[in-house]
A and B are shown apart, each in its own frame.
Chain A
Amino acid sequence: MTPRFRMACYMFMAGITLIGGACAPSATGKPDPSATAGSKSPGGDQRAGEGQRKTGESDTDKSSLKQLQEGKSTATPASSPLKDVFFEFDRYDLTSDARTTLRANADWMKSNSSTRVEIEGHCDERGTNEYNLALGAKRAQAAREFLSTLGIPADRLSTISYGEEIPVCKEASESCWRQNRRARFVIVQGRSTS
């Protein structure tokens, strides 16, 4: 065949490959492995000593973004009066552990009535950035609404989502991911004098 003809053949084969390259749909209906993981939250007490509280100042006074900018851990120190709450993969409903933690956080806010708190929603690295930003916003909002039902005035609470962008733990494992699927509580005003 002529070269021109041959070139046409090559290009046609590229087209055939394109059509024939369809893959069988994959099985994606498997249960979410993270959903069956234990529901016990890895609380801040497991990371005791990671961020010792200095006199009069805590890292919970700084947003995760600020911590990132300063090159510091975004883990909530064990000494923080406000504990993180944790979520299952692709979920923003509150587990019973999360509600227990939020009740304790609400009690502290009631006895420190001059404080305002920004609730940060975070996700693990799986999934896409924009969806995780939306999911983090849902998590922060779920925590905010529960605190409201416990009597914390709306004007003492604000929310922000960092999606998957500021993880506490950076390994690709479920034990790490579950630490990242969290709502974090940052005291933004009226620090306790206790």
Chain B
Amino acid sequence: MILKLLFMVVFFLSQPWLAASAERPGVVGEIVGQGGQKFPVAVSPLKNLGANTADSPRLSTGIADAMVHDLELSGWFRVLDRSAYIENPQSSGITLGTFDLKDWATLGAEGLVKGGFNVQGDEITVELRLFDVYQNKERIGKRYTGRVRDFRRIAHKFVDEIINQFTGIPGVFNTRIAYVSNSGGRFKEIYLSHLDGSEKFQVTDNHTINLSPDWSPDGRSILYSSFKDRSQTLFLFDLDSGREVKFTPRGGGRYLGGKFSPDGQTIVATLESGGNTNLYLLDRSGNVIRRLTDNPGIEVSPSWSPDGKQIVFVSDRSGSPQLYILDLQGGKTRRLTYSGNYNTSPEWSPKGDRVVYTGRVGSRFAVFTISVDGGEPRKLTSESSDSEDPTWSPDGRFVAFSSNRAGRYHLYVMQASGDNQRRLTGSGGDDTKPSWSPRLN
């Protein structure tokens, strides 16, 4: 079972930077054509502000390492190599005026992250600051308190603050990915982990096949489908209590998968009965509210628009799997994809403007996005390997997916443009079907 997060931001040490977005229109002419540059930042190991213990070096570098991981994963920063750092983090200060910014300017750093920590029993207090090296200013200062073993979450939360400073929207690193893995052997079980692979948690351990994990919008439950009772159906697992609810189709059939509505009150589920699959609207206990589609073919993989008014799904009504959008109020359905003969696993973006999905290219599968108004799809991954099952980050600026480009299937994250594709920490087995959590506390 998952214990609740204990972090609190105790106080602000400075006024946050103005969001950079307000200044964007003024710089258009200067930067076009210079793409590919990333903001150079240094992340110092943290200073131990308390008594030295055997754990101190691990925490000093571990918190910094977690921040480096996130900053690089974002694709917006170039983190300068730690081996070139000049000052000793344990003897230099962590507030403006108590260390020499020139030591960092000479390395080429324009931003600098420094901080300190103090361990009391199993509790850790961490101060973190972002400095503007050229302007000699502190841009963010935060103090966090939490359990020692959760120290990485403090790092994730601070990087989310850094990204908020630059973009006006917080980052998404204090989140988790739910996914399916066969790392334990021949069975497929559901796992959760942070993007850096830490705090891995095994949701299912029933030695069968478990698929299609989906987060509740409050981040406290996981909906998944399972063969553990032989006939496939959905289960709703509560992360706080470890209890779960089984969805039993009243009229027979099998639930293949489901997705929470944006308000968390309902679930759209795929029900297979007599060979036909259709979409049904369920309540959180699995009771049918109403049937949404009524076709003799395959209707699967639904995903909600962020306003909860439309559902994108896969249907083979045209003879091959294509994406369709169902308007829940009017009941009308329109076809979204026309290029390619195999388009599946759609997920509607949090911004509402695009749908990410898996499409077949020749004999391979790639991740695409398409405007919800249709038009030409954008291919985000190479067809030199297979990339499948895309899922949006909660801010819509990243996409996680699974790919076999390194042999087995592993999880990857890229920017929504397709840039900066990076592999997440692997389990040792095939990791598939990622589902990105909402922002966590």
Contact = CB atoms under 8 A, between A and B. Distances in A.
Interface of A: 2-30, 32-33, 63, 65, 68-69, 71, 90, 126-131, 133-135, 137-138, 140-142, 144, 159-162, 165-166
Nearest to A33: B363
A9 B30 contact: yes
B99 interface: no
Nearest to A140: B275
A3 B132 CA distance: 7
Given A128-B388, A130-B211, A25 B339 contact: yes
Interface stretch (B5-13, B116-124, B152-160, B374-382): B374-382
Given A13-B37, A160-B231, 13 more contacts: A10-B37, A10-B38, A11-B39, A13-B36, A16-B31, A20-B417, A25-B339, A69-B187, A129-B433, A131-B301, A131-B345, A134-B270, A141-B274
Contact of B378 (A12, A21, A144): A21
Contacts of B417: 17-21
5 interchain residue pairs of minimum CB distance: A141-B275, A28-B340, A21-B417, A3-B134, A18-B417
Nearest to A143: B275
Contacts of B314: 130-131
A28 B39 contact: no
A123 B8 CA distance: 49
B178 interface: no
A129 B211 contact: yes
A8 B433 CA distance: 35
A144 B276 CA distance: 13
Interface in B44-67: none
Interface in B358-392: 358-363, 365-366, 376-380, 383, 386, 388-389
7 contacts: A7-B110, A10-B37, A22-B378, A25-B379, A131-B344, A140-B275, A159-B275
A134 B35 contact: no
Contacts of B34: 13
Contacts of A134: 256, 270, 272, 277, 298-300
Nearest to B17: A4
A116 to B, nearest CB: 15
Contacts of A23: 378-380, 418
A133 B30 CA distance: 52
Given A128-B388, A138-B275, A69 B207 contact: yes
Contacts of A5: 23, 27
B146 interface: no
> Which residue among B17, B132, B231, B363 has the maximum number of chain A CB atoms within 10 Å of its CB?
B363
A127 B256 contact: no
A27 to B, nearest CB: 8
Nearest to B299: A134
B167 A128 contact: no
A28 B314 CA distance: 17
Given A15-B24, A69-B207, A129 B212 contact: yes
A160 B230 CA distance: 9
B85 interface: no
Interface in B380-408: 380, 383, 386, 388-389
Contacts of B36: 13, 17
A7 B345 contact: no
Interface string B58-87: 000000000000000001100000000000
A18 B256 contact: no
B110 A6 contact: yes
Given A17-B35, A65-B208, A129-B212, A11 B166 contact: yes
A144 B298 CA distance: 17
B186 interface: yes
Contacts of A141: 274-276
Contacts of B15: none
Given A65-B227, A131-B321, A137-B272, A10 B76 contact: yes
B133 interface: yes
B361 A11 contact: no
A4 B131 CA distance: 11
Contacts of A28: 339-342, 359-362
Given A28-B339, A130-B301, A134-B300, A9 B31 contact: yes
A64 B243 CA distance: 29
Contacts of B432: 129
Given A11-B76, A15-B24, A134-B298, A161 B257 contact: no
Interface string B248-276: 00000010110000000000001010111
B366 A13 contact: no
A129 B232 CA distance: 13
B213 to A, nearest CB: 11
> Which residue among A13, A29, A144 has the maximum number of chain B CB atoms within 10 Å of its CB?
A13
